[in-house]
A = this chain, B = another copy of it.
Amino acid sequence: MLKKKIYQFININSSFQKLIYTLIILNVISLILASYKEIYIKYELFFDYFEIFSVSVFTIEYILRFWTADLDYENGTSFSKRLKFSTSSFGLIDLFAILPFYLPLIFPFDLRILRILRLFRLLRIFKLGRLSKSLQTITSVLKETKSELSITLFVAFILMILSSTLMFFVENEAQPDKFENIGQSLWWSVATLTTVGYGDIYPITGLGKFLSSIIALIGIGFVALPTGIISSAFIKKMQQEKEQNKEHICPNCGTKF
């Protein structure tokens, strides 16, 4: 039962998992460091070797997971089980993490940008048991508020289109280089409604400033609305949990009510 042993090794053995997690984090650090030109030039060889090493480990892991995938699911043929693994979100992440390394061997493109896909392996950390309960609360809250949040986002989107078109017509003449087109104007409206306000683009005419003030004030409501929606969902969650735990028993007569 080599397969079963390997399956347990890669799934239960914590030192193997620690190795993988360490390698993921080292990959993130290496990606960041390699973006510093002076460091990259100095240690180019090291980065290349580390790249080959990481991809090798991840490839071996992927192959082993693919091979032992039929122990992971209960029903289905061995082929359908492997297909299930390949198309599961973690299976796809694992594949995308190694694919960019092999593609250039076939296609003569510069796909170094795809190395960014390896970052998604960070998401694997959510598999850790300790984190999963809090994460579940958060995701269930987000799921429950999905329709309200999408409406808010949609209203925000319409607001952005409207306000940026308006500002384009108002400011274009005074700042033809800044409010050059509605695209630039949209960039301004995002920066304003999210209250980021980089300061690279802002109205200078009186009317523009007046309209922009109104839009910025609406921006606060735009922040308040999702916050209110999410807050109420968290409170609902909390009350549901409390209600499930509650069962009133009279300490005198023992009646449940």
Contacts and interface: CB of A to CB of B under 8 A. Distances in A.
A116 interface: yes
Contacts of A116: 162, 165-166, 169
Contacts of A224: 223, 226-227, 229-230
A128 B236 CA distance: 28
Count identical subunits in the complex. 4
A85 interface: no
Interface in A71-112: none
A227 B226 CA distance: 9
Q: A interface, how many residues as a size bin?
A: 35 or more
Interface in A220-249: 220-238, 248
A57 to B, nearest CB: 20
A212 B151 CA distance: 21
A187 to B, nearest CB: 5
A38 B204 CA distance: 19
Interface stretch (A15-23, A27-35, A44-52, A60-68): A27-35
B202 A198 contact: yes
Contact of A228 (B195, B233, B252): B233
